[in-house]
Amino acid sequence: MDLDFEKPLEAIEQRIAELKALNNRADVNFDTEIAALERKLQTASKRVYAKLTPWETVQIARHAERPLLRDYIQGLCSEFIELHGDRCFGDDQGIIGGFATLRDQRVMLIGHQKGKTIEEKIKANFGMASPDGYRKAMRLMHLAAKYKLPIVSFIDTPGAYPGFEAEARGQAEAIARNLTEMSLLPVPVVVIVTGEGGSGGAIGIGVGNVVLMLSNAVYSVISPEGCASILWRDGSKAPLAASALKITAAALQEQGVIDEIILEPEGGAHRNPAAAINATGDAIVEQLRRLKKISSKRLIEQRYEKFSKIGRFKK
């Protein structure tokens, strides 16, 4: 699925595919032409992705072919034992987690899961977690603290589920409690924003010692569409809202909201998921090795200091 601003690349990609198909069937050889087109595609791709607007970045962050949590688990973990249920109400599939071996690191891995097929999306509620999901996540984090395991948290959600059932079961309380209790965890917490970081739904599992963010991900207090509908009562102004919200990785790093940008492969993670997953794994392992050297007391202090600075006004 190509995005509107990727249309200049689509024609070149189609021609490359046609020539490769002919190469397999005909006596003629198109290797020279294919190589020239691939160079042209690389140049065009760099030009397109060098000047993305915030709204175009939002579109990339939501791309259907972008790697999801289970892709990261499959690509990075030699072992994953999923744990289920919040021990209060149910087992929300909008957030999943469990014991994992990430590269050579034993961790508690938690994250939003959007789903790929229609059935998976419905089961996971499109990554919009309920209170049960946030309580399950917190249960697993306490388990990680008990066994002195680092926590790795993947964020990719349009936001927490805003339905009546979620509110009736204490959505706001569940997220608020997670913020409080995550700030006091005595183990390293690494957070990665891989796609959408939507408001309280994101930060409900996002209080970490370090927050990483893929270069074409977004992280904001509200979606651009939601902001546009509130401020201007006009959803068509979402691109304007995206610019005003400062939701891109570069803007958020400048403001101190995130700590490190993980560069995606050329053309975005949806064009080369394996490379994006590998780069994410490298960044996580590097941070885990650094954080493991810090005392529990200092980890808690550092986490508190980090989040206390966000939004602080300076004259």
Mean of pLDDT values over 57-84: 95
Q: Is the pLDDT of residue 54 over 90?
A: yes
Torsion of CA 199, 203, 205, 210, to 10 degrees: 140
- Per-residue pLDDT band at 1 (split at 50, 70, 90): low
Residues with Cβ within 8 Å of residue 9, at least 6 apart in sequence: 2, 41, 44, 45, 48, 267
Residue 110's DSSP bridge partners are: 97, 153
pLDDT top residue among 61 and 51:
61
Enter the pTM of the model.
Answer: 0.88
Residue 42: what pLDDT? 73
- Per-residue pLDDT band at 139 (split at 50, 70, 90): very high
Mean pLDDT over the full length of the chain: 90
- Rounded distance, CA 149 to CA 100, Å? 10
- Rounded distance, CA 258 to CA 192, Å? 9
- Bridge-based pairing state of the strands 95-102 and 105-112: antiparallel
Q: Is the pLDDT of residue 26 over 70?
A: no
Mean of pLDDT values over 191-196: 96
Burial class (CB in 10 A: 0-12, 13-18, 19+), 276: buried
With CA atoms as reference, report the closest residue to 113 among 142, 78, 84.
Answer: 84
Mean of pLDDT values over 148-160: 96
